[in-house]
Amino acid sequence: MEKYWLLKDDIPDFFEKFPHAGYTEQFGQPNVRIPKEDLAELFDFWKNHSKYPMDMLLDITAVDYLSSDFAEKPNLTGREEDLYSETRFDVVYHFYSVSTNRRIRVITSCGGEHPEVLSSYAWWKAAYYIEREVWDMFGIKFTNHPELRRVLMYEEFEGHPLRKDYPLMGEQPRVKLRNPEQEND
Amino acid sequence: MSEDKILDNVITTRMDKFIGWARSYSLWQYVFGTACCAMEFMSVSSSHYDTDRFGAAMPRYSPRQSDMLMIVGTITHKQAPVLRRVWEQMAEPKYVVAVGACAVSGGFYRNYAVVQGADRVIPVDVYVPGCPPRPEMILDGIMALQEKIRNSKQYL
C-alpha cells in the first residue's frame, strides 16, 4: 500500500526539535499534539522542512470537548466551570506536502474565556477562509489574522453554533431586510 | 341574425372566471432552487414529465418576468432576505409554491441555520410535501394552484 502519512519513524528531526510533542497513531494516521505556544515554530518547521516541505494547508478545524468522555480529556464533564477550561477546544491542522505526497496532522489545545491561537495566514494564504470558518463556528480567535469575521453565518448572528453549549434547536430572530441603497459592498 | 345563431356562437361567463381561466394556463415560473429538490424539479420541467402540458413551461430567469415563484429547496436564515427581495420584485398577480419538506416546514433541519418554512418569510399558496416530492406531486401542486387561481377573485 502506498504511503500517505508521515509516521513517527519518518520524522525523527521533528521530535528532536519538539521533544515535548505528543504522538498517537490511529488507523495508520499520526496525531501530533503540541502546545499552542509552539505553533509559530511549528509552522516555520513544516513550511521549510528540508525533506517534506508542507507547501499546502489542507484544512483547519476544531473540536469542542465540553462534556465529552474522550480518553484524552478526562477532566471535561460538561460542568459549568468547564466552559472556560483551558483544554476545552482542540484545533486540528492538516498539512500536505505536494512534492512528496505526504500528510501530517497537528493538534493543539486552547480554551479559556476567549480561546485564541496564532493564525497560520502568514505561512499559508489558504488559512484566510478556513480560519474565518473556525472563528464563525467555534469562536476561536486567530491572532494576526488580517480580517477575522464571520463567513457562513450572518453578521447579526449571536454565538457560535458548533459549540457544545449552543442550544441544540436554538433559533435566532430572522435577519432584517437590508436596504440596497444603504449597503456599501 | 336570428337568436339561435347568436346562442351557437357566443359563450357567456363571469369576468373572474374568464380571467382566472386565462391566468391559470399562463404561469411563468421563477425557480428559486436552493437544494436537492431542484434536481428533482429539473426532471419535472423537462420533456419527460413536462410542465408545458399545464401551461407552466417557461422558467424565467428574472423575477420581474414571472408570476409564479417555486421555492425548491432549503431556505436558510441568511437566504431569507434574498427570497423576500425576489418575491417583492415579482409583478402582481403572483403565486408561490413551496416544493419539498424544507420549503414547507424546514424539513428535518431543526437547527440554527434553517428557516422553519418559507411561509415565515413570504405568503405561500400551495405546499408540496416530500423529500424530495415525486414529479407527480409537483405536477399535482401546479394543478392545485391552477384550481386556486380559477376559483379566486381576479384583480385587474
Confidence (pLDDT) at A66: 82
Dump strand ranges (E) for chain B: 29-33, 59-60, 68-72, 95-99, 126-128
Q: CB-based contact (8 Å) between A177 and chain B?
A: yes
Contacts 24+ apart (CB under 8 A), A2-6: A3/A102, A4/A101, A4/A102, A4/A103, A5/A29, A5/A30, A5/A102, A5/A103, A5/A104, A5/A105, A6/A30, A6/A52, A6/A102, A6/A103, A6/A104
For the segment B62-98, what is each residue's pLDDT rounded down to a tens digit?
999 998 999 999 999 888 888 998 999 998 889 999 9
Mean pLDDT taken over chain B:
88
pLDDT at residue number A121: 92
The answer to whether the CB atoms of A174 and B115 lie below 8 A apart is yes
pLDDT at B51: 86
| CB pair distance less than 8 Å for A172 and B112 | yes
* pLDDT score of A178: 65
B125 pLDDT band (50/70/90 cuts)?
very high
Q: Are A30 and A104 in contact (CB under 8 A)?
A: yes
| Mutant choice from A171, A172, A176, A183 vs B, greatest count of B C-beta within 10 A | A171
Give SS3 for B152. coil
Using CA atoms, how far residue A79 sits from A84, A114, A164, in Å, is: 10, 18, 12
User: What domains appear along chain B, each with residue ranges and CATH number?
Assistant: 3-147 (3.40.50.12280)
Q: Closest chain A residue to B79 measured between Cα atoms?
A: A175
The pLDDT profile of chain A, 185 residues, written as one tens digit per residue, is 578 898 888 888 989 888 888 899 888 899 999 998 889 999 999 999 888 999 999 999 999 888 776 767 767 776 777 777 888 899 999 999 999 999 999 999 998 888 999 999 999 999 999 999 999 999 999 999 998 988 988 888 888 989 888 888 777 777 776 666 665 54
Q: Which residues does chain B have within 8 Å of residue A174's beta carbon, measured at their own beta carbons?
A: 77, 80, 115, 120-121
Measured between CB atoms, does A20 come within 8 Å of chain B? Answer: no
A-interface mutation test, from B75, B77, B79, B82, most A Cβ less than 10 A away: B77
Looking at the complex, does the CB of residue A35 fall below 8 Å from at least one CB of chain B? no
CATH 3.30.460.80 is held by the domain A8-166: yes
Instruction: Test B78 with A154 for CB contact under 8 angstroms.
Output: yes
Helix pair B15-24, B135-150: axis angle to 10 deg: 160
Quick one: pLDDT at residue B3?
73
Residue B153 reports pLDDT greater than 70: yes
Query: Pick the residue with more confidence: B46 or B127?
Result: B127
Per-residue model confidence (pLDDT) at position B4: 78
Q: Find, among A95, A37, A40, A31, the residue nearest to A63 by Cα.
A: A31
ipTM over 0.90: no
* Minimum-distance CB partner of B112 among A161, A177, A178: A161
Query: CA A50 to CA A58: how far, in whole Å?
Result: 20
Q: pLDDT tens digits for A57-75?
A: 999 999 988 877 676 776 7
